[in-house]
A and B are shown apart, each in its own frame.
Chain A
Amino acid sequence: MQLTLWTYEGPPHVGAMRVATAMRGVHYVLHAPQGDTYADLLFTMIERLPQRPPVTYTTFQARDLGGDTAELFKNAARDAYDRFKPQAMMVGASCTAELIQDDPGGLARALDLPVPVVALELPAYQKKENWGAAETFYQMVRALAGAAPRERAAGAQPSCNLLGPTALGFRHRDDVTEITALLGKLGIRVNVTAPLGASPADLARLGDADFNVVLYPEIASQAANWLQRNFNQPYTRTVPIGVGATRDFIVEVSRLAGVDATDLLAAEDSRLTWYSRSVDSTYLTGKRVFVFGDATHAIAAARVAAQELGFTVVGLGTYSREFARDVREAAKAYGVEALIADDYLDVEAKIAEAHPELVLGTQMERHIAKRLGVPCAVISAPVHVQDFPARYSPQMGFEGANVLFDTWVHPLMMGLEEHLLGMFREDFEFHADAAPSHLGTGAKPVAEPAAAVVPAAVPVAVQAPVEVQGPVVWSPDGQKELGKIPFFVRGKARRNTEKFAAERGLTTITVETLYDAKAHFGR
C-alpha cells in the first residue's frame, strides 16, 4: 500500500484510452464502475477535444456483482459495436473489474464481432499509465500490422513511420508537424503516424515504411522492437529535442534512409544557437537547474540545459521507473545522482535541497517551485490545460528548440528584472515587499522583512538543522547585511549561511559569518 497525495501517472487503462482516443475508427469497451468515467474529462477538458473519447464503460454496480456482470459486459460491447461501427475494438478491465475476473477478451470473442477485437491485459495493481499506453499500442500493432511487408521498389522515395504520439501527450500534436516537415526536407516520406490520427487500416500499412522514428520511447519502444524483429524495420534512438539532438537525429535518419543530410545541416536555422551566444545570455551561465519529468523529456532537457544554455544541472530525475536505467546513465554526465521517484513529497524535498535557480519539471514541480519561490518551466506530462497552447509550440526539432529557449529563459529574465528591482530596493519608489512578478500573486518567495524595517536589536531565531544543539541566531548587523543581498538570491544566502554556521557549531551569524559562508559556497 502506498500513500499517495498526488500522482504523476494515472492507471494503465488511461494509457489505453490515450491510444484509443488518438486513433480513428477504434472503440474501447472498458469493464469499469461509473466513477471511472471521470477519465473522459481528461480529454474533453484538459486537451479540449471536441468529441468524447471512443470509450464505453459498463458501469456495473454493487447489485450487479452477485448477478451477471459478464452479461453486462457482452451487452455493452455489442451495443457499442452496433452504435459506433468501429474498424477495430479494444476491450479490457479497469482496476475493479480486474478483481472480478470476467475475462473481457474471452467474452468479446464469444460475440463474434465482424471486426478485429484486441484484448488488453493491463495489470492495474502493478503498472501505470505510460506502461498501459505502450502495451496497448504494441498489442494494436501486433494485431493489426498485417502480413510481412512488401519489398521497396528500387528508386522509391525513402519512408518511415512516426511512432508514439497519443492523445493527452505533452505537445505531441506539434512535434508531429515539426518532425514531419524536417523529414520532408530530407526527402523522407512519412508513411504512417501512429497512434495519433491512425486508423486500423493505417496500422496495416506500417510494414510499407523503411524504418521507424520513435518519438516517445515510453510509448513506442515496445511496438518498434516488435516491428524490427518481425518486419526488419530499424528504428531511431535519438529523440530530437534541442539543437544538438536534432542534429544527431538528422544524421541518424539520413543514415537509415540512405539520404544526404549535408545541405540540411549546413542550412540549419536555429535561433537558440545565436540567442544563447548573444552577450545578454551571459547571465544564464551556470544557473542551477533541477530537471524532473518523464524519462525522455528529462534526459533531453538536461542536455539542452547543460550544452545549449550553459546551465548547471544540479538534479535530474524521473517518475518513469521503467526508464530508470537511462536516466541514471544520463545523470552521471552531470555528476548528479538520478532521482527515481513517484512520491511527490520526495521530489519536493530533493528540489529544496538542491537550491536550484530554475526548475524544469511537470505541473507538479511547477507547484513545488512556486512554493519555494523558484521560477519553473514545464517540460513534460502529466499535462494541464496550459500544456495545450493555442499557438504552434513544438518541443522537437529546431523550432522546438526555439520554444525551449523562450519558455525556459523567460522566467529567469523576469528574475533578472527583479534583481534590478532588488538593487534599488532601498529607493523609496520601490516597495521592498513586492513579490517578484514572474512568480504570480500567490508566491511568497522571501519571508525576510526588508532591512529597513527590521528593528536593529531583534535577533531572528531560525530553525537549526537537527544535528546541532542550540538555535542559530542572526546578529542585527548580519541580518542587516543579509537584507542588502538581492532578494531572489537572499533565500539561498540565508540557507547557506545558516548551514555553514550550524556545521561549524556557531550560534550567532555576524557579517563575518555571512561572508565566510559566501566564500565557502562561492563557485
Chain B
Amino acid sequence: MLRERGQREVFCGLTGIIWLHRKIQDAFFLVVGSRTCAHLIQSAAGVMIFAEPRFATAIIDERDLAGLADCNAELDRVVARLLERRPDIRMLFLVGSCPSEVIKLDLSRAAERLSASFMPKVRVLNYSGSGIETTFTQGEDACLAALVPILPVESASAKQSLLVVGALAEVVEDQFRRLFTAIGIDDVRFLPPRSAMQLPAIGPATRYLLAQPFLADTARALEARGATRLAAPFPLGVEGTTAWLHAAAQAFGISDSRFHTAVAPEQERARGALARHREQLAGRRIFFFPDSQLEIPLARFVSRELGMELVEVGTPYLHRPHLAEELAMLPAGTMLSEGQDVERQLDRCLAAAPDMTVCGLGLANPLEAKGLTTKWSIELLFTPVQGFNQAADLAELFARPLVRRARLMV
C-alpha cells in the first residue's frame, strides 16, 4: 500500500450539497464562504436547472473580514432574508468552508443562535464542507453526522429496528425497503430522510447498515447514541448487495433459507444482466484515481463480478474498520494507494496504460487525449448504482466508454 502526499486533485466536501439537497427536499444548504466556493458548486453542478435552488453561498467580503462581530451580524441578516424568501424551508444547514474556518467564524454558535430565533419553524444546523477538513464525499459524512444529535430518542426497550445510513436514490431506497420486507425486516428507516420532518428515531435497539463507505463520523455519532453497526461489504454488485442484506438478516434472526428465497430471483436477474457486460469487461485493466472513497468497493465489484484486472486502486482516505470486509475480498496483492500526488500518479497511470481509468472531471479529457479510456467518477455518485437491479447499470457505466471507443472510426 502506497501512502502519498502531494497535490490532491479532488473536490472538497461542499460538493455533497449537489446530491444532498435533492435528497432532503425541505432543507436548504447555505455555504458561508467565498466566491470560489460558490463557483465550485455551480461548476460541479454543471447546469443550473433551478431558478432558486435549495443551496446558496453567503459570500464573505472584505468588510466581513474586518471583525467577527460584524460577520455574525451579517450572517444573521442573510439568513433572515433567505428564510423570508423561502418559507418552504424547514431545515437550514450552515455549511462551513475554508475561509469561514480560517477566520474562525463559529458556525455552531451561529446555528444555535439562529435556531433559537427561527424554531420551531426552521431548525438551523451546521457542518463543515471545507477543503481543508473534508474531501468530496466527506461532506455528506459531516452533514449526516450533524443530523445525528437531533434524531428523536427511541427507548431502550423498543423492538430492534434497522437504519440504512447514506444518501441513496429514491428508487434504490424503495427497492431496499421491499427487499427488507420480503426478508422479514419491517421496521426500516433511512438517514438522511426525504424530509426534515421525518427524522428516524434511534437508540440502543437500532442496528445500522452503512450504504456508503465514507461515513466514519456519522457512524461514530450513531454509536454514541447507542446504535450498533452491522459489519458488511457495501451494496454494489450482486455479491456486495447480497452480503449487505445478509448482514441485516442475520442480525434480525432471519433464517438463511427464508433469506435466500427472498433474494434468489433478484440475484438471478441481476447476474443475467451482468453477463453481457462481463463479456465486454473481463480481462480489461482498470486504474482508479482517488476521489469518492467508493473506489475499494468498486474495485472489488469489477474484479470479482466483471473479471477486470486492478492496476491501482487509489482512495483519498482508507477507513480500515468500515472497509475490512471489502479489503478481504480484493485479490491478493492489489496495489492500493491512499492520499495523492497527482503528478506522480499520472506518471504511473500513463506508464501502465490501463484499458480504463476512473478519475475526476479535471483529468478525464486530458487522459482521453493521450489515448486512455476514462470514466468520470462523479457520475458514480449521481447515478443509482446500489442494489441488485442497478448492478448492471453500474457495470454499464464502465462498459460504455469502451464500447464507444470501439465504435468510433475517426
Contact = CB atoms under 8 A, between A and B. Distances in A.
A52 interface: yes
A62 B142 CA distance: 15
B366 A52 contact: yes
Contacts of B130: 33, 35, 62
Given A10-B36, A95-B36, A40 B60 contact: no
A125 B34 contact: yes
Interface in A204-229: none
Interface in B165-181: none
A34 B42 contact: no
A2 B59 contact: yes
A337 interface: no
B178 to A, nearest CB: 32
Contact of A44 (B15, B34, B36, B363): B363
Interface in A26-79: 33-42, 44-45, 48-52, 56-62, 64-65, 76, 79
Contact of A60 (B51, B65, B132, B360): B132
Contacts of A52: 362-363, 366
B40 A38 contact: yes
Nearest to B40: A38
Interface string B72-100: 00110110011000000000000000110
A174 interface: no
Contact of A5 (B49, B52, B361, B362): B52
Given A1-B60, A41-B43, A49 B365 contact: yes
Contacts of A367: 48-49, 51
Given A11-B39, A36-B36, A62-B101, A5 B56 contact: yes
Contact of B42 (A3, A6, A128): A6
A3 B58 contact: yes
B77 A34 contact: no
A40 B362 contact: yes
A88 to B, nearest CB: 20
Contacts of A94: 36
Given A1-B77, A35-B130, A41-B362, 17 more contacts: A1-B59, A1-B75, A2-B78, A4-B56, A6-B48, A34-B135, A35-B14, A37-B9, A38-B44, A51-B369, A52-B362, A52-B366, A57-B7, A60-B132, A62-B133, A95-B99, A363-B48
Nearest to A58: B7
A48 B78 contact: no
Contact of B40 (A35, A45, A60, A100): A35
Contact of B98 (A33, A45, A56, A79): A33
Interface in B332-372: 343, 360-366, 368-369
B36 A59 contact: no
Contacts of B81: 3
A59 B365 CA distance: 22
A348 interface: yes
Interface in B92-145: 98-99, 101-103, 130-133, 135
Given A3-B82, A59-B7, A50 B365 contact: yes
Interface string A284-318: 00000000000000000000000000000000000
B53 interface: yes
Contacts, number: 184
Nearest to B101: A62
Interface string A308-345: 00000000000000000000000000000000000001
A50 B374 CA distance: 13
A1 B76 CA distance: 10
Interface residues of B, number: 62
A363 B42 CA distance: 12
Contacts of B362: 37-38, 40-41, 44-45, 52
Contacts of A7: 35, 38-39, 42
Interface residues of A, number: 58
Identify the interface centre among A58, A95, A364: most chain B CB within 10 Å of its CB. A95
Nearest to A99: B102
Identify the interface centre among A5, A79, A124, A126: most chain B CB within 10 Å of its CB. A5
A96 interface: yes
7 contacts: A4-B35, A33-B98, A35-B14, A39-B39, A62-B133, A124-B34, A367-B48
Nearest to A50: B369
B131 A33 contact: yes
B8 interface: yes
A9 B36 CA distance: 10
A363 B46 CA distance: 12
Contacts of B243: none
Contacts of A76: 7
A484 interface: no
B35 A124 contact: yes
B61 interface: yes
Contacts of B11: 34-35, 37-38
Contacts of B43: 10, 38-39, 41-42
A410 B380 CA distance: 38
The 3 closest A-B pairs by CB, nearest first: A35-B12, A40-B362, A35-B131
Contacts of A14: 39
Interface of A: 1-7, 9-11, 13-14, 33-42, 44-45, 48-52, 56-62, 64-65, 76, 79, 83, 94-96, 99-100, 123-126, 128, 345, 348, 363-364, 367-368, 371
A100 B102 contact: yes
A132 to B, nearest CB: 10
A40 B9 contact: yes
B361 A45 contact: yes
A99 B100 CA distance: 10
Contacts of A99: 65, 99, 102-103
Nearest to A60: B132
A216 B77 CA distance: 38
Identify the interface centre among B9, B61, B135, B362: most chain A CB within 10 Å of its CB. B362
Contacts of A61: 131-133
B366 A44 contact: yes
Contact of B10 (A2, A37, A45): A37
A20 to B, nearest CB: 15
Given A38-B362, A371-B51, A11 B34 contact: yes
B52 to A, nearest CB: 6
Nearest to B45: A6
B64 interface: yes
Contacts of A13: 36
Identify the interface centre among A6, A10, A38, A367: most chain B CB within 10 Å of its CB. A38
Interface in B216-253: none
Nearest to A59: B8
Contacts of A363: 48
Identify the interface centre among B48, B61, B131, B363: most chain A CB within 10 Å of its CB. B131
Nearest to B79: A3
Nearest to A96: B98
B40 A44 contact: no
Contacts of A3: 56-59, 78, 81-82
A1 B58 contact: yes
A9 B38 CA distance: 10
B71 interface: yes
